[in-house]
């Protein structure tokens, strides 16, 4: 039976790095999922014949069903499921269209949950699910509110699923990086250069996440900066945490 890894958001900054680093494991195929066909082709050219590119919009149920069908036809062992695809927007609630709201919830919440349920029957002892949440899951974050709330959902879901799966040998790790140097968020907003304190590389996030998954940790936090944030927000009143966050972010926002 062939062993595979499934990586969503493989065409993005962190996903591309997951594809690169996952090849160190004994795998027959890496199913790289994304919508951008040009970037998927580039992945195949860069990383070789083990990469199976899958074009799918995961905010649509048909995208999930495409992967489900491939699994039921090929019946592989899923060694890794990496739910990494995600959408973000830094803006006031007024700046969201109804379609954007639905798409973000579908992409960041619905898709990872559905993919977990689709893939778990094909997993064995030693398999790993890595759900890429965010440090924004640690507290409510005005002006990146919907994104942060969706990531809190993902983190909470992942940790509880990990408990439900105890005894199966399958580990679920919620990956919670702070700012990562990718194209997810704009570098400039309303004429101002956005500052991303504590920003790290995708290489470091992925290296730490895979190491933490191997150690069967239910959470992966990759830098001292984010570890301190995680600790601080546990002890500080949430109103104060939101006040500090809001004062740093408001200057970029059109209200």
**Interacting residues with ligand NAP (CB under 6 A):** 9, 11-15, 34-36, 39, 57-59, 84-88, 107, 132, 134, 177, 179-180, 182-184
Smallest separation (angstroms) from ligand NAP to the CB of 108: 7
Smallest separation (angstroms) from ligand NAP to the CB of 219: 13
Report phi then psi at 201, rounded to 5.
Answer: -85, 155
Element (H, E) at 70: helix 61-74
Return d(Cα 88, Cα 121) in angstroms, integer: 30
Smallest separation (angstroms) from ligand NAP to the CB of 127: 20
Smallest separation (angstroms) from ligand NAP to the CB of 124: 26
User: Coil, strand or helix: which one is 193?
Assistant: strand
Q: Are 163 and 173 in contact (CB under 8 A)?
A: no
- Residue nearest ligand NAP, CB atom distance: 12
* Closest CB to ligand NAP among residues 93, 196: 196
**Measured CA angle at 117 (ends 138, 19), to 5 deg:** 70
* Closest CB to ligand NAP among residues 142, 198: 198
Report phi then psi at 60, rounded to 5.
Answer: -105, 140
* Closest CB to ligand NAP among residues 3, 217: 217
* Closest CB to ligand NAP among residues 42, 77: 42
**53-58, Cβ contacts within 8 angstroms, sequence gap of 24 or more:** 53/10, 58/8, 58/33, 58/85, 58/107, 58/111, 58/115
Beta strand pairing call for 192-193 and 188-189: antiparallel
* Closest CB to ligand NAP among residues 47, 77: 47
Q: How many CB atoms lie within 10 A of CB 37?
A: 11
Smallest separation (angstroms) from ligand NAP to the CB of 59: 4
Tokens of residue 66, six digits: 């495409």
Smallest separation (angstroms) from ligand NAP to the CB of 125: 27
* Closest CB to ligand NAP among residues 87, 165: 87
């Amino acid at each position: 039976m062939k062993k595979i890894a499934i990586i969503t958001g493989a065409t993005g900054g962190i996903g591309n790095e997951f594809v690169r680093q996952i090849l160190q494991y004994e795998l027959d195929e890496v199913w790289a999922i994304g919508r951008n066909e040009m970037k998927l082709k580039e992945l195949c050219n860069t990383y070789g014949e083990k990469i199976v590119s899958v074009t799918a919009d995961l905010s649509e149920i048909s995208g999930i069903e495409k992967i489900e069908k491939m699994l039921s036809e090929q019946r592989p062992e899923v060694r890794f499921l990496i739910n990494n695809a995600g959408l973000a927007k830094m803006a006031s609630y007024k700046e969201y269209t109804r379609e954007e709201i639905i798409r973000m919830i579908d992409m960041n919440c619905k898709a990872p949950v559905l993919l977990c349920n689709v893939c778990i029957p094909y997993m064995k002892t030693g398999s790993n699910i890595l759900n890429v949440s965010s440090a924004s899951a640690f507290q409510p974050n005005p002006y990146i509110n919907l994104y942060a709330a969706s990531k809190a959902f993902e983190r909470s879901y992942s940790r509880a699923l990990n408990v439900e799966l105890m005894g199966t040998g399958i580990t679920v790790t919620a990956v919670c990086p702070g700012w990562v140097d990718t194209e997810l968020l704009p570098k400039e907003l309303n004429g101002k250069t956005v500052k991303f304190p504590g920003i790290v590389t995708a290489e470091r996030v992925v290296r730490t996440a895979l190491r933490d998954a191997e150690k069967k940790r239910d959470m992966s936090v990759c830098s001292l900066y984010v570890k301190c944030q995680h600790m601080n927000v546990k002890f500080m009143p949430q109103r104060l945490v939101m006040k500090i966050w809001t004062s740093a972010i408001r200057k970029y926002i059109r209200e």
